């Protein structure tokens, strides 16, 4: 069967999308008018940041020198650790992968993780050493590193350059030679795996599928395995990279189905599509659902946008199965949603997509991880919302999530990076020397790497360090909830959960920042950070003062004292009945500070 399904996987920035461009160019899939960089990155955001966020499929025709014709289905994947879930979904639709390594950087943290993902899925790996045209390139060294670190034979590596197009022909031959053809019976019962989907205003939900058994035609009736609902197929087709209507999808095909599915919740990524009349008995194992690990509240700055925000979130969820949300309310910010993400970049991208694609103005609360609490009555409950945190006397055990963090870096930066990890309460496990580079393995509380850890790591190592992490469960920790009071009133949206050792410095930062941005009143406004009933930090917004002594020229001091006393009483009375409106800018300023 002359079909090959493959993915390109690599560490972030090792040239996946550029190499995909050269392959498309070589196979004539890009006309002169379509030529642009990062062809498969369809989101404006992807092109701006130069990263891939969504996996994008495309079908290509390849004619070998001996005249044989092949259909190649390529799925370009993201490299960033937050989008690992996208990669695992893409790999389920493939038989093989091109594993890219940058010739000047060598094997990085994410290279290893993606390689093991492919090995776990029993995929054929074709190693490619990319960017050999760079002045600092060491292709032989990078290939040897692949062999030493991952165990992929160096003699099978192809040397290529995504920029100049060197090695593209060898890569295409290797895909045909080394990656196996898809197996399956075209006449058996239909079994197709949904690996992605998006919402189209005219056609409803469009499913991206990989056909594992059987054949699907337009006008067939399909059933979705998870909920048993039946739909009539309007159109089927392939990707080029846009949607191209075809007549059928058969075994090994990667394509799309439009079946007039109106409800977004019917199309679950990882579900199996089968035929109504000739149904398969066993669904495809699918993927285990991605567990969000970082939570943050999203609130519209204009409360009337609440409904629009809800619709936008539902549509984004369809296109991004790892994202979850539920409604929540805050006294300070009104109605909004508590959203779950796979990491900070994921949260940032979702927020930016909501603001751009759906024209919304949003406030995001400080990101938090999920804490597990055992109460004194034996009940165990998980929370990521500081507002739900019970009082200290009701908690027996507090646990926070830990991760296993792997950092790859050149030898000379080991000292400062170890210091950074120690400051973040990391515990060192091992240190491995891999050629000229060092791999540090640490166990770190997840909350500690949430904010600016990645930026600090990059600046300390001058951009050479790379990191990857995986969840390793919960451990006990001394956690406290820091509440923020403005004029003796608690502001729920600013409460944070933090380790006891860092509570004072964080409280100090927040109150200082609030005191800067709250507008001055006619009376002094105290801003306080407290743990339980104990105030740990305070700053004061100074009052405006009218100069009541202006009319006193000369005269007795007692007269001046009397006037100042009168002013003081007036301010005290004003303070008791006056309320301080905390402006939206104040929330934005505090929630967007690096800490």
Taking the C-alpha atoms of residue 442 and residue 435, their distance in angstroms, rounded to an integer, is 20
18 annotated among ligand-binding-site residues: yes
Backbone angles phi, psi at 417, to 5 degrees: -70, -40
How far CA 501 is from CA of 144, 147, 423, 424, 527, in Å, comes to 44, 43, 11, 11, 21
Nearest to 257 by CA among 318, 314, 211, 312: 211
How far CA 292 is from CA of 83, 433, 453, in Å, comes to 12, 33, 19
Locate 89 and state its tokens: 């979904």
Instruction: Work out the angle at residue 494's Cα, subtended by the Cα atoms of residues 493 and 495, and round it to the nearest 5 degrees.
Output: 100
Taking the C-alpha atoms of residue 131 and residue 15, their distance in angstroms, rounded to an integer, is 8
502 annotated among ligand-binding-site residues: no
Return all residues near 200 (Cβ < 8 A) that are at least 6 apart: 206, 258
Return all residues near 564 (Cβ < 8 A) that are at least 6 apart: 548, 549
429 annotated among ligand-binding-site residues: no
Element (H, E) at 5: strand 3-9
Backbone angles phi, psi at 195, to 5 degrees: -110, -5
Q: CA dihedral defined by 24, 25, 27, 32, rounded to 10 degrees?
A: 110
Local structure of 472: helix, strand or coil: strand
- 3-state secondary structure string, 148-170? HHCCCCHHHCEECCCCCCCCHHH
Using an 8 Å Cβ cutoff, are 79 and 85 in contact?
no
15 annotated among ligand-binding-site residues: yes
The DSSP letter of residue 33 is G
13 annotated among ligand-binding-site residues: yes
Instruction: Work out the angle at residue 554's Cα, subtended by the Cα atoms of residues 550 and 556, and round it to the nearest 5 degrees.
Output: 105
274 annotated among ligand-binding-site residues: no
Return all residues near 167 (Cβ < 8 A) that are at least 6 apart: 128, 132, 158, 159, 160, 161
Burial of 31 (0-12, 13-18, 19+ CB in 10 A): exposed
User: Which stretches does DSSP call E strand in 27-106?
Assistant: 56-63, 69-76, 96-102
Locate 205 and state its tokens: 């939900």
302 annotated among ligand-binding-site residues: no
Q: CA dihedral defined by 489, 495, 497, 498, rounded to 10 degrees?
A: -80
Query: Any idea how long the chain is?
Result: 595
37 annotated among ligand-binding-site residues: no
Taking the C-alpha atoms of residue 489 and residue 176, their distance in angstroms, rounded to an integer, is 68
Locate 365 and state its tokens: 């609360």
Locate 68 and state its tokens: 């044989």
What residue numbers does the annotated binding site cover?
Answer: 13-18, 130-133
What residue numbers does the annotated binding site for GTP cover?
Answer: 13-18, 130-133
């Amino acid at each position: 069967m002359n079909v090959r399904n493959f993915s390109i996987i690599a560490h972030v920035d090792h040239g996946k999308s550029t190499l995909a461009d050269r392959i498309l160019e070589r196979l004539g899939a890009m006309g002169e008018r379509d030529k642009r960089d990062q062809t498969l990155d369809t989101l404006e955001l992807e092109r701006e940041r130069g990263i891939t966020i969504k996996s994008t499929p495309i079908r290509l025709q390849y004619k070998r020198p001996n005249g044989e014709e092949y259909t190649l289905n390529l799925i370009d994947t993201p490299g960033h650790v937050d989008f690992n879930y996208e990669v695992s979904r893409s790999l389920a639709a493939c038989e093989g992968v091109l594993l890219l390594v940058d010739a000047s950087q060598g094997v990085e943290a994410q290279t290893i993780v993606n390689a093991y993902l492919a090995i776990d899925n029993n995929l054929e790996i074709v190693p490619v050493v990319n960017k050999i045209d760079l002045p600092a390139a060491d292709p032989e060294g990078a290939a040897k590193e692949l062999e030493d670190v991952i165990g992929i034979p160096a003699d099978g590596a192809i040397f290529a350059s995504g920029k100049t197009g060197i090695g593209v022909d060898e890569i295409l031959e290797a895909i045909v030679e080394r990656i196996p053809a898809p197996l399956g019976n075209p006449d058996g019962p239909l079994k197709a795996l949904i690996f992605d989907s998006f919402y189209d205003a005219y056609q409803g939900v469009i499913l991206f599928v990989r056909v594992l058994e059987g054949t699907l035609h337009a006008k067939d009736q399909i059933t979705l395995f998870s909920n048993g609902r039946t739909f009539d197929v309007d159109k089927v087709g392939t990707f080029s990279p846009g949607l191209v209507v075809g007549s059928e999808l058969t075994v090994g095909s990667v394509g799309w189905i439009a079946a007039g599915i109106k409800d977004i919740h019917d199309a679950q990524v990882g579900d199996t599509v089968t035929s109504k009349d000739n149904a398969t008995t066993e669904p495809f194992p699918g993927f285990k659902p991605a567990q969000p690990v970082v939570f943050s509240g999203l609130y519209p700055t204009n409360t009337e946008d609440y409904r629009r925000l809800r619709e936008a979130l539902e549509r984004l969820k369809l296109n991004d199965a790892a994202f979850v949300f539920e409604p929540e309310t805050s006294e300070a910010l009104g109605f909004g949603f508590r959203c779950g993400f796979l990491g900070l970049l994921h949260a940032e991208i979702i927020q930016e997509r909501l603001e751009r694609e759906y024209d919304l103005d949003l406030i995001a609360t400080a990101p938090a991880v999920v804490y597990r609490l055992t109460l004194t009555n034996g009940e165990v409950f998980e929370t990521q919302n500081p507002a739900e945190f019970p009082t200290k006397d009701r908690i027996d055990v507090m646990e926070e999530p830990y991760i296993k963090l792997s950092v790859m870096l050149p030898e000379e930066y080991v000292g400062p990076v170890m210091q950074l990890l120690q400051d973040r309460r990391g515990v060192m496990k091992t240190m491995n020397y891999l050629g000229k580079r060092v791999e540090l393995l640490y166990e770190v509380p997840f909350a500690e790497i949430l904010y600016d850890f990645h930026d600090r790591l990059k600046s300390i190592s001058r951009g050479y360090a790379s990191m990857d992490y995986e969840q390793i469960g919960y451990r006990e920790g001394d956690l406290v909830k820091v509440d923020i009071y403005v004029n003796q009133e608690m502001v729920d949206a600013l409460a944070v959960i933090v380790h006891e050792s860092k509570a004072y410095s964080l409280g100090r930062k927040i109150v200082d920042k609030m005191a800067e941005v709250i507008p001055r009143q006619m009376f002094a406004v105290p801003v306080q950070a407290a743990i339980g009933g104990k105030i740990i930090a305070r700053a004061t917004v100074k009052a405006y003062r009218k100069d009541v002594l202006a009319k006193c020229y000369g005269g007795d001091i007692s007269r001046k004292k009397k006037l100042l006393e009168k002013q003081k009483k007036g301010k005290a009375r004003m303070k008791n009945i006056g309320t301080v409106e905390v402006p939206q800018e104040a929330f934005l300023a505090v929630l967007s500070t690096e800490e």
